[in-house]
Structure 1
Amino acid sequence: MKKIFSFILLFAALFSFNRCENNIKGTNDLNYVTFEAPSIEVGVDLNGSTTSDVKVYTTQKTGSDRTFTINVLTDASTADPGAYEVPASVTVPANSNVGTFTVGISDVNIGENGSTLVLDIQSQEGVFKGDPTTITITQICPYNEVILNMNFDSYPEESYWDLTDADGNVVASVPAGTYADMEQARKKFCLTDGTYTFTMRDAYGDGIAPPGGYSLSFNGTVIASGDEFGTEDATTFTVP
């Protein structure tokens, strides 16, 4: 048994460049199935949806279809159940060692930090299976992505900000106290073409003491920054 498991580890390392060929040499007595990779990245447009094909591979080809059950490991996943659709199984066709299933992804509570979906192949008698795969889901901004980075001083609860459009409508904002007990914070804005005004504010009126401060960037270029700005620091900018 120990010899078999040692072989499985070796096989996992070699499988990536053998998986589309015929039966792997020396594996005639090993029935093994695994996901294409331990991790997969999927991006989805803000408020949009997408699909992603996921492959599974087996060591052997047989003369009939083989079906494997796919389970979502909900305790290990952070994705909202409403954000994904996963089929109950995947079929490896006859005379093949590759099966494909499609995962549907929607921007439901994904958030700026993304979320994860962990999938596993259900065990079945006579079949060794590989490790689960983790699908990392991230939001993609289809417009103009502007990024705010903040490094706070000893009073992060004093920092707050707002972003308004050309007509003065508030696009996004946070009140004072939002960043209590935080050392750093990051916020992404997905903005349509136009002119905006970003205003960094400090409730006490002395800004953010160095080495702390804030910066607003677009396409890798800093378009606003400051530290000891007093009560507020406003910058008007246009994207793209």
Structure 2
Amino acid sequence: MKIKVINPNTTWEMTKGIADAAESVRRPDTQIIAVSPEIGPASIESFYDEYLSIPGVLEEVKKGEEEGVDAYVIACYGDPGLQAAREVTEAPVIGIAEASLYMASMLAARFSIVTVLPRIKTMLEELVDGYGMSKRVLNIRTTPMCVLDFERDPERGMELLRQEGRKAVEEENAEAILLGCAGMAEFANELEEELQVPVIDGVVAAVKFAEAIVDLGKTTSKLKTYKAPETKQFIGMLAPFGSKA
């Protein structure tokens, strides 16, 4: 089985960490292909960043169709381009936020998310609501660190996650913690041991869901919503997307 893990930002150091997380849980017969797009932002911390990352994500999915990929993981907690990606492939496409929320709902009645900058909170509130999980998510706790800060200073990152995770458990009665950034994967196991509740990294969750869905022989429904986009002309820098639609 071949799973393509797409980090929607263009920072390879972060992609390497995401690849390590995916490799740590893959089955022996699963091949992980971890990539960053050729176009896109260095990190994703706003609606602006997120929307501009989507063409690069779609480009990588289209490449995957020629690479024999069996499933895709979008490794950013905003799940950018998830719905559009499902339109351009029959293979399963899984977002790491989606995967972590669904996994948490099977393990805990109520849970909290710990993520990066405060400006992300509204974005994630809308995402959580879109997945129908608003009643399950107690809070979205933020830190003063941006996405790439966790790569540059993992010790400080771990300490802030520890502080916010402990507050979520002790003050909010969170029964599980979700790590709201693909760059936080390395902290999950240590936090779980300290907090004594499930701590879920979305990359790990998405890879295991992908393996299960492929094993079951399931593919993305093409009946209506996720059928291939209608062929039409695109102009300017998006011209290649129109010609291949």
Give 1 or 2 for the bigger CA radius of gyration.
1
TM above 0.5 = no
**Normalized against structure 2, the TM-score is what?**
0.21
Higher strand share: 1
| Greater RCO, CA 8 A, separation 6+ | 2
**Normalized against structure 1, the TM-score is what?**
0.22
